[in-house]
Amino acid sequence: MNALAKVMRWPVGETRAKRLALWTAAEIAAATGGTASGDFEVSGVEMDSRDVRSGDLFVALKGEAMDGHRFVDGAFARGAAAALVDRPVDGPHVLVADTNAALEALAAAARKRAVAKIIGVTGSVGKTGVKEALFAALERSRGGSGDLGGSIGAHRSVRSYNNHVGVPLSLARMPARSRFGVFEMGMNHAGEIAGLTAQVRPHVAVITTIAPAHIENLGSEEAIADAKAEIFGGLEQGGTAVIPADSPHFARLRDAALAVGAKVISFGRADHADVRLLEALPLAQGGALVTARMDGASLCYHVAEPGEHWIANSLCVMAAVRAAGGDLGAAGLALAEMGGLKGRGARRRIAAVGGHALLIDESYNANPASMRATLAQLGQTPATRRIAVLGAMKELGDFGPGFHAQLAEPLLASQADFVVLVGAEMEPLARELGKQSVNSLGNPLGFAQCADAGEAISALEEFGLIGGDAVLVKGSNSVGLSRLVDHFVAREG
């Protein structure tokens, strides 16, 4: 029997027997309690009409300021196969009483039918990067997209779809034949993770780290740890909690996991870590060669992403892959090939006088811990000059002035030659820099204060970029520094 004949006779497993369509009209109607206008199939689910692709189900969500039903015609024009609506429309649709509730019901149906091993990821810093690295690792695992048994690899939430709308949308998009599902969960207030983890029901619950993000709403790091630990409440029976061994809140997180009967796997540099860093050697091309101890054996792999925080992230990924039953070798290959995400570490070559400069795009998010990590990364980046464009850190409340002022020390240690401060919250840092006017090399540190991204663009243009410069752009998303990134990337030559 030749190879082709053997493949044709391969046994049909449980996942292979499932259809390729994401949802049929009948399945959507049954899940949501709605009424289908006719027979149809959809290949995706979308809530933003601008992102609709051919074959999608457009969900016309209703918010306080916007009603998605206004965009149903536009969704059909872009190729939507059907719409989920609360009123009859021209075109294939499922009619329900409440589209927001119907999306959650569709998500619940997706989770119920799933055969995938589900991983939930939360944390104050690094959750999107870890989620993407986990997806890349599990997609490559044996039995992934090339598995003849019929599974189709891994599924994950895209972008930062990690809230009360993004999580059910991501679940509803999960194909029934997925082998792994990776879902990010975020929060601003206590109780929010509890609601999300009840929908995701992970087999593995990951907390990347605890830091003072959203401290304005929660009041203390202990309260933040408790809010993140809500993820353990949704764990499936016999599930595993993956937690940072180096965190000062390690015992608090461990006890919360044990209280719900979870297994615990810790990662970090601490002696008690289950996945423990032994050595991290920086590489000339960036990143590091990491050696870790796991299950009594050494594991060596290359992390392409630069920065100490990515060494910790890689240990977290390895711990979660182990807990999910994935392939550690494939995880190592995935970490070696990871590229930075837009707004979260992407590195772009931009035009500059006499050559090109490096722009490090961290414009999507900022808190005290991530600011320190990326400034340390800037200090380790080979460059003719180092420039930092720093936007305000939001949601720090009364703690804000102190946390902003404390950035002076890591900023000076980064050997920055020029700094652009964006937003009124940066005033305490400007005062500190006025007192300490030289960087760690003893060179004068010039800086400019700007009200917004537009002024920051002008300040950076006036300063002038030259070949060999490294420019770090970091701030909370609402500051709008992505506009500055887009401006300079557009000049890429």
CB 268 within 8 A of CB 246: yes
Residue 88 to residue 457: CA distance in whole angstroms = 48
Mean pLDDT over the full length of the chain: 90
> In Å, what is the CA distance from 314 to each residue of 23, 415, 435, 468, 478?
35, 27, 38, 29, 28
Which pLDDT does position 213 carry in this prediction?
A: 75
Which pLDDT does position 441 carry in this prediction?
A: 61
Q: Is the model's pLDDT at 68 over the cut of 50?
A: yes
pLDDT in tens, 353-398: 999 999 999 998 888 988 998 999 899 888 999 999 999 999 898 8
Percent of all residues in the chain with a pLDDT value above 90, rounded to a whole number = 76
Q: How confident is the model at residue 142 (pLDDT cuts 50, 70, 90)?
A: low
Average pLDDT over residues 178-192: 94
Which pLDDT does position 437 carry in this prediction?
A: 61
CB 121 within 8 A of CB 184: yes
Residue 338 to residue 128: CA distance in whole angstroms = 13
- Residue ranges, CATH 3.40.1390.10, the chain: 23-100
DSSP string, 28-63: HHHHHT-EESS--EESEEES-GGG--TTEEEE--B-
Domain spanning 346-489: which CATH class is it, in words? alpha beta
Average pLDDT over residues 322-345: 90
Using DSSP, state whether 19 is helix, strand or coil: coil
Domain 114-337 fold: UDP-N-acetylmuramoyl-L-alanine:D-glutamate ligase (3.40.1190)
Which residue is listed with tokens 């202990």?
222
pLDDT in tens, 83-130: 999 999 999 999 999 999 999 999 999 999 999 999 999 999 889 999
User: How many CB atoms are closer than 10 A to CB 305?
Assistant: 23
Angle, CA 134 vertex, CA 129 and CA 136 arms, to 5°: 95
Q: Is the model's pLDDT at 169 over the cut of 70?
A: yes
pLDDT in tens, 401-448: 999 999 999 999 999 999 999 999 999 999 999 886 665 566 668 899
The letter for the amino acid at 284 is: A
Q: Is the model's pLDDT at 172 over the cut of 70?
A: yes
Side-chain-side CA neighbours of 62 within 13 Å: the count stands at: 12
Which pLDDT does position 146 carry in this prediction?
A: 41
Q: Is the model's pLDDT at 80 over the cut of 70?
A: yes
Q: What is the pTM of this model?
A: 0.80
Secondary structure in 3-state letters for 247-292: CCCHHHHHHHHHHCCCEEEEEECCCCCCEEEEEEEECCCCCEEEEE
Average pLDDT over residues 277-302: 92
Residue 408 to residue 419: CA distance in whole angstroms = 11
Q: Output phi, psi for 370, to 5 deg.
A: -70, -30
Q: Is the model's pLDDT at 147 over the cut of 60?
A: no
- Residue ranges, CATH 3.40.1190.10, the chain: 114-337
Which is it for the CA torsion 141, 144, 145, 146, positive or negative? positive
- Those residues with Cβ within 8 angstroms of residue 252's Cβ, 6 or more apart along the chain or in another chain: 222, 225, 226, 229
> In Å, what is the CA distance from 400 to each residue of 162, 278, 380, 451?
25, 36, 27, 17
Picking from 458, 399, 455, 396, the residue whose alpha carbon sits closest to that of residue 423 is 455
Domain spanning 23-100: which CATH class is it, in words? alpha beta
pLDDT in tens, 128-137: 999 999 999 9
Which pLDDT does position 16 carry in this prediction?
A: 43
Using DSSP, state whether 67 is helix, strand or coil: strand
CB 292 within 8 A of CB 317: no
Which pLDDT does position 40 carry in this prediction?
A: 97
Q: Is the model's pLDDT at 288 over the cut of 70?
A: yes
Average pLDDT over residues 324-342: 90
pLDDT in tens, 6-61: 433 434 444 444 456 899 999 999 999 999 999 999 999 999 999 999 999 999 99
Which pLDDT does position 151 carry in this prediction?
A: 58
Which residue is listed with tokens 């980064």?
414
Which pLDDT does position 6 carry in this prediction?
A: 40
Name the CA dihedral angle for 56, 62, 65, 68, rounded to a multiple of 10 degrees.
30
Residue 274 to residue 244: CA distance in whole angstroms = 10
pLDDT in tens, 196-235: 999 999 999 999 999 887 787 788 999 999 999 999 999 9
Q: Is the model's pLDDT at 138 over the cut of 70?
A: yes
Which pLDDT does position 125 carry in this prediction?
A: 87
